[in-house]
Amino acid sequence: MRLLLRLVKAVLIVLLAFWLGGLLLFRFVDPPLTPLMVIRGIERGGLIRYRPVALNRIAPALAHAVIAAEDSRFCFHHGIDIGAVQDAIDDYEETGRLRGASTITMQVARNLFLWPGGGFLRKGLEAPLALALDALWPKRRIIETYLNVAETGDGLFGAEAAAQAHFRTSAARLDPAQASRIAAVLPNPRRWNAARPTAYIERRSAIIRARMQRLSRDQIRCLSGP
């Protein structure tokens, strides 16, 4: 039993050191890989496309699109949107179905430090990591990292890879329609294709573009911060 406790303690210390080191390092340095990239690389024999670029080399429309689609209160919360969590709990009590309440910050924490899939253990780790991420990183860096490491297609990671593969252009030249399509497929980018949208993705893209137009300056002003 003592040996097991020591092993658990050693694992926790290593994980905490990894997470803290990553939080500090990736604030300034683009991550070379994420756990999901490693998994996809193994599945595809190493064939993934990932090319991080600075936020000023990504069309603002894409940042606006993912905020409209994934986290409209991104600039206001501190990593966790308590209102969205409460809504998800209320829906679960009413319908018995648990819907996601992940913020963009939570998704960055998950992409960088945790594993894909569900489960209460991962959610339990995701929340404090998101709070730490929001405390240590400016919002611009969080959205920049999200746009670079999010899975955007089969074997594709980030805005630049998606723009080149789907639209034969750069992330900087994405127009609102293209940006909304990329945002629309994020829930399942291996099932849906931004370049060949289904009727459902076209409808979802139109909804996202409408939401983009309704975003207030306050909802996106943190993107112009330090």
pLDDT digits (tens, 9 = 90+) for 98-138: 556 789 999 999 999 998 877 777 888 899 999 999 999 99
pLDDT band, very low/low/confident/very high, at 30 (cuts 50, 70, 90): very high
Task: Determine which of 8-12, 127-131, 192-196 has the lowest per-residue pLDDT on average.
Answer: 8-12
pLDDT band, very low/low/confident/very high, at 94 (cuts 50, 70, 90): low
* Domain assignment present for 6: no
* Residue 127, domain extent: 33-224
DSSP conformation letters of 126-178: HHHHHHHHHHHS-HHHHHHHHHHHSEEETTEESHHHHHHHHHSS-GGG--HHH
Q: How far apart are CA 108 and CA 16, in angstroms?
A: 17
* pLDDT higher than threshold 60 for residue 91: no
* Domain assignment present for 14: no
Q: How far apart are CA 188 and CA 225, in angstroms?
A: 30
Residue 8 has what pLDDT? Answer: 67
Q: Looking at residue 197, which CATH number applies to its domain?
A: 1.10.3810.10
Q: Domain tally for the chain? A: 1
Residue 123 has what pLDDT? Answer: 81
* pLDDT higher than threshold 90 for residue 9: no
Helices (H) and strands (E) in the chain, counts: 11, 3
Residue 46 has what pLDDT? Answer: 79
